[in-house]
Amino acid sequence: MPELPEVEVVRAGLAPAVTGATVLGVTVFDERALTRHPGSALDFEAALTGRRIRASVRRGKFLWLPLEPEDPADPAEHAVVGHLGMSGQLLLRTPGAAPERHERVRLDLAHPVHGEVAVVFADQRTFGSLAIDELVPTPDAAPGGCGGEEASIPRQVAHIARDPLDPAFSDARFRTALVRKDSAIKRVLLDQTVISGVGNIYADESLWAARIHPETPARALSTRAVNRLLGEVRHVLDKALAEGGTSFDAQYVNVNGQAGYFAHSLNAYGRTGEPCPRCGRPIVRVPFTNRSSHFCAHCQRRRSLG
């Protein structure tokens, strides 16, 4: 599943093409792409056509495109919300380009500087979605997410915590949350209501870098260890961003269809049996919920509550 770096690469790629653009037309080829939209495909098409897009914003793994109000007298504001699911792609294409394989929705836009462009939502496994949702104020009055300046967020994204690259992310609040958690630190890193954007790949990589066993109870970590972990999470995410994200197959691409290459920099994830880059002992893999954890049993000693 795409994690923060992959989604941020898509957001940044969309921003110059969609910010200030007007939606000329919308075509829904598969209503399964609108599972989070409260209305029908016809409603989605009608509500979006003619609207102007203000920005391209992200929090965690969610993207949204805030819209100019349809009626200046109506205080309600809305956005197109996107979640890539397991295999979703948002691609920029020239007007009239041939349909993409697994294309579900197409937005035809007119930009005042760049001209016409098509935004294509393609999704092989159909777990991703688009929706029009109401924007609500952020509780902390800070901008809703990366790429946005307004203190608002789609209602269906409001429960998602800020991510560690967000300037408004609170390290102190995160440390306080861990003190109350008996569950494994990896499970907490994957809890999007505590810290967003970190999935299985980057959790394994960050824990390896911080020398923390994934099954360590969260509240067993010292303040120093939590600070070290947050530093490594940010370092791993920044490095992945610089390398375009992690692509293991053709499903994980940027808006131009190009794959990221952070997979070549992985130290733990997917390296079962290979030598740990730090100590040379083999990386082990153990089941974790419906996935796996990859770590070095020597470098990442498990701590218990004492």
> What pLDDT was estimated at residue 5?
86
pLDDT-based confidence at 129, cuts 50/70/90?
very high
CA proximity to 15, closest of 94, 109, 151, 102: 109
CATH 3.20.190.10 residue window(s) in the chain: 4-157
Active-site hit among 2, 154, 214, 217: 2
271: phi then psi, degrees, rounded to nearest 5 = -110, 35
pLDDT at 128 over 70: yes
Residue 102 marked as a ligand binder? yes
> Mind listing the pLDDT tens digit for each residue in 2-61?
788 889 999 999 999 999 999 999 999 999 999 999 999 999 999 999 999 999 999 999
122: which 2 tokens? 């393609």
Please give the torsion angle defined by the CA atoms of residues 34, 153, 160 and 248, in that order, rounded to the nearest 10 degrees.
Answer: 60
CATH 1.10.8.50 location in the chain: 171-295
Architecture of domain 4-157: Alpha-Beta Barrel (3.20)
Task: State how far the Cα of 241 lies from the Cα of 52, in Å rounded to an integer.
Answer: 28
Q: Which of 11, 59, 61, 271 is catalytic?
A: 61
Name the region of 135 (left: φ>0; alpha: ψ -120 to 50; beta: rest): beta
pLDDT at 251 over 60: no
Torsion angles phi and psi, residue 33, rounded to 5: -75, -5
Task: Note if 100 is an active site residue.
Answer: no
Measure the CA–CA gap between 243 and 239, rounded to whole angstroms. 6
- pLDDT at position 250: 47
Q: State yes or no: 239 annotated in a binding site.
A: no
The pLDDT of residue 246 is: 56
271 annotated binding-site participant: no
Told to judge if 2 belongs to the known catalytic residues of this protein, a careful annotator would answer yes
d(CA 135, CA 150): 10
For position 117, what pLDDT does the model report?
96
Which numeric CATH code is attached to 171-295?
A: 1.10.8.50
* DSSP-assigned letter for residue 222: -
